[in-house]
Amino acid sequence: PVPGNPRIILQSALPEITGPVLIDGHTQPTGGHLGVEITGEALPAGNVEDGLVLSGGNSLLRGLALTRFRSVPLGELPLPEAPNPSGMLLKGIGGNRVEFCFLGTPPSGTVGAGNEGYGLRIESPDNRIEACHAAGNWIGGIGIFGAEATGNTLTVTVGGDPLAHRSSNLLG
């Protein structure tokens, strides 16, 4: 076993998830931290894809950290115009649950691993986002967009230290 949390370092973008799915990062041995990190740090410059894209609805994501989804190399400032890849995108049917996830920080809660877009971008109805922490993302922590994105429930901390329950980031 590797010390620290398990990490999945993507070499190419993940396919869109078009049906219900359960992804539970809490089932993995984590070396003391909660969850599994999925990072876009090794994706090539020019990446325009979001980290996890769910369109099938009625999925459960738990114990994941989504970090470093970017269109420019680490260390370079992106342009404010799209595309700005987000850690996670919920679109389509909706009815998803996202629990105990880190959106822009690894499970250890350290900074410097943000996504270029949002930690979480929501474009679908009736999602429940619970006990998540969003910080360090370039555009914002969580963004909710579109007339169909209604009935969403969020209980999250944004910005600062997730253990101190401070908030300095924004919900868009």
Judge residue 123's burial from the number of C-beta atoms within 10 Å of its C-beta, 0-12 exposed, 13-18 middle, 19 or more buried.
middle
What does the DSSP 8-state code read for residue 17? B
Q: What global pTM score does this model have?
A: 0.88
pLDDT per residue of the chain (172 residues) written in tens, 0 to 9 = 356 678 899 999 999 999 999 999 988 765 556 789 999 999 998 899 999 999 999 999 999 999 999 998 877 888 777 789 999 999 999 999 999 999 998 887 776 688 999 999 999 999 999 999 898 898 888 999 999 999 999 988 776 554 443 333 455 4
CB atoms within 10 A of CB 101: 28
Cα 130 to Cα 90, 102, 117, 124, 167, distances in angstroms: 15, 11, 20, 16, 16
The token pair at 80 is 């404010």
